[in-house]
Structure 1
């Protein structure tokens, strides 16, 4: 176990060969300084590949889509249970020369997800990245939620992620679609999952 306060004096290279647990609880008299390096997006998105943005038609999802488009992505499929995308976003994407498809999908149902993925594979560039943005909001205290409400909230994220993982684990590179396995699979969540929320 490594104390969080000691991390600044340890080189990243010395930590890379083993697994460690960090104790983030610090003495209140000590400050913990953290430096977060800027993310280099060079080469992260490729203009000749497709990016599958699952349940990304809302504010957080579209901000991720905009970021991808501003960093060389040219082909996006945006899915949602309610696939209504801001027309300003679509016109901005068109101005950038991007190809955007918006599709209705329930990420908690395997057959439709498989169908959409196979449709993309047959008609569009290879899928190079997946962003799982699905979320069902029940904005109330956990104590006030029924088990059905809790399960409904978790289904899109948990079951949806399991289905996406299954579908994309089936990919075998073929001569027709080289590089079909995604370069990345990102799960998006709200900041409340890390900083907490009342309740």
Structure 2
């Protein structure tokens, strides 16, 4: 008979995201992981396989949380510009957590690994597509109802917006403060108005 887990997996993954965001993956030892997560080494291995397995599940958890936020915005926003503004807002807000290094967990991970970890890279690409698809939805919505969108190419505008978000996230990682990042977002969105 298997042992009963004395922790909630999603909460543990949220802690792992925080730890990897704080220290990076490569520099975090298994001892630091079990101490920070508050689980035993045997629970770590039984539930997540190993340190890399924990990373991949943490990346998938972060992707799910992000996708859930994007879905909520998609369901609640009645206007293309509003939806795009809300996506930019959560993108900027997600880069500035008190006590953690600036930047997005996904981008920080891909900066740490580069293309060498195909599994991690695929999760990042999938998350990128989630965001791009939400932006595409709102650009199409705006194209139908906003005179300012009529002249815009849907695909090019969507790529412009996702590239702007990616650039802001990387800028946050290298030290751009939140106020400057928000000004950059406002300037980027001015093309829609």
Give the alignment's TM-score, normalised by structure 1: 0.29
Q: Which has the larger radius of gyration?
A: 1
Greater relative contact order (CA < 8 Å, ≥ 6 in sequence):
2
Structure with the largest fraction of strand: 1
Structure with bigger helix share is: 2
The alignment's TM-score, normalised by the length of structure 2, stands at: 0.29
